[in-house]
Amino acid sequence: METQAASTPRGKRTRDTIVDAAAGLMYVDGVAGTSVDKVLAASGAGKSQMYHYFKNKEQLVEAVIDRYLEQILGNQPAIFTLSSWADLETWTGQLLDIHRRAGKPVACPLGNLAGEVGDNPKLAPLVDRAYRTWESHLERGLKVLQANGELAPDADPARLAQAAMTSVQGGLLLAHIRHDLTALEDALDIALTYLRSHATS
Amino acid sequence: METQAASTPRGKRTRDTIVDAAAGLMYVDGVAGTSVDKVLAASGAGKSQMYHYFKNKEQLVEAVIDRYLEQILGNQPAIFTLSSWADLETWTGQLLDIHRRAGKPVACPLGNLAGEVGDNPKLAPLVDRAYRTWESHLERGLKVLQANGELAPDADPARLAQAAMTSVQGGLLLAHIRHDLTALEDALDIALTYLRSHATS
DNA sequence: TAGCTGTTGTACTGATCGGTACAGTGGGCC
DNA sequence: GGCCCACTGTACCGATCAGTACAACAGCTA
């Protein structure tokens, strides 16, 4: 953890409140579009709290990235227990349900950040790491399928997982900007078909 | 055109200089991270020029979006003359060459913007429109293939084009954040394979 | 009770933000 | 030449930016 930890329950609660407010605002307005003052106004905390728990705004963003990953994975629990082709369908179904529940295609918090963070030497690696963590659950599931003999022995789970992630991200980006979930539906469908093309016959 | 046009060659040059500087800075630092002052400092123009040609910063961003689309399409000229499966390979080859020439995977300007612009009621539709323009060239090419009898008559060129775009965007996003072009290579490969699966046998 | 540490409120700083005011200057057209 | 209007330079505005200073507080231990 790069950021200052809270050492009492009260401090932990305050810190969480700040991160939550920042995560919500930065999701909508971006990092540069979200001032520290706005975060504190939204969280009800004072400036001294913020700078007690975070060295600067950048470290707050680091905490926000972690928060985003937690939120994302929490919305697709099936990714933790992938062990069959049916599980993969369940997983993509959960991805789509997020947007159906929201009433419209919503953006991926990490995807939003990825564009803005760009080549920031501190933050870009953290976004990269979050994506890799996300992807690693997919890769682990594919390895289980492979161990179960459902995925071809010569298939590369890491590479397949990366391919699936590109479909997810591309689908999310277009579905959101164009307010049309079919972009994500088709992308996931194509990805699943591609994965299945490496199934044992 | 939403923005004020320049009516003399000198004015046109000044306006272009401002948009170029803004496009470059916003590509790196994002919209909110790029102040009008920085744009003017980089372009050598004064504030009165900026507000002579643009009502406000938002209108400058509109011009930047158009500029991005021009740059993007200019880097993949094959997209304008698609009429065979080989042409599609040429096109994806040009997409990859952009990054090979740059020495590393670079981000898509529109993709960067898409995340930050998010749900901005003025700018998001413009990004959407830019994507659709980009995609329309792809769709037109697929229709040519269809007319030539190389693409199945029951295939949906619009839907296939959208699927290809999601692959491109997802591949670009991951390739950039992870500094690994294979993400884009694989995404394009999968996309082409998918398109070919709708070829006439 | 005293004292310590983690926590909090408020006031402030210098820099920068987007945008405006206004007095000019340039070059083309009659 | 003289006019006109697009164009330009500079100074300025109130608001907001990230970050700091510092005194006061809360709760636990001794």
Nearest to B118 among A107, A127, A167 (CB): A107
Q: Which residues of A touch B174 (CB under 8 A)?
A: 131, 162, 165-166, 169
pLDDT tens digit sequence for A120-160: 999 999 999 999 999 999 999 999 999 999 999 999 999 99
Q: Do B177 and A32 lie within an 8 Å CB cutoff?
A: no
Arithmetic mean of pLDDT, B121-135: 97
* Encoded amino acid at A33, one letter: G
Look up tokens 């000198």; give the residue: B10
List, as ranges, residues 160-179 from B with C-beta within 8 Å of A: 162-163, 165-171, 173-174, 176-178
CA of A7 to C1' of C17 (A): 37
Give the list of residues 6+ apart from residue A200 with CB closer than 8 angstroms, or none: A149, A150, A151, A152
Query: CA-nearest residue of chain B to A187?
Result: B163
pLDDT of residue B118: 83
Residue B10 has pLDDT above 90, yes or no: no
CA–CA distance, A183 with B5 (Å, rounded to integer): 36
- The band of B5, judged by pLDDT with boundaries at 50, 70 and 90, is confident
CA–CA distance, A194 with B192 (Å, rounded to integer): 12
B112 touches chain A (CB under 8 A): yes
pLDDT tens digit sequence for B45-103: 999 999 999 999 999 999 999 999 999 999 999 999 999 999 999 999 999 999 999 99
Query: CA-nearest residue of chain B to A170?
Result: B170
Those nucleotides of strand D lying less than 7 Å from any protein Cβ are: 6-12, 16-23, 27
Could you give the 3-state DSSP secondary structure of residue B200? coil
pLDDT tens digit sequence for A26-69: 999 999 999 999 999 999 999 999 999 999 999 999 999 999 99
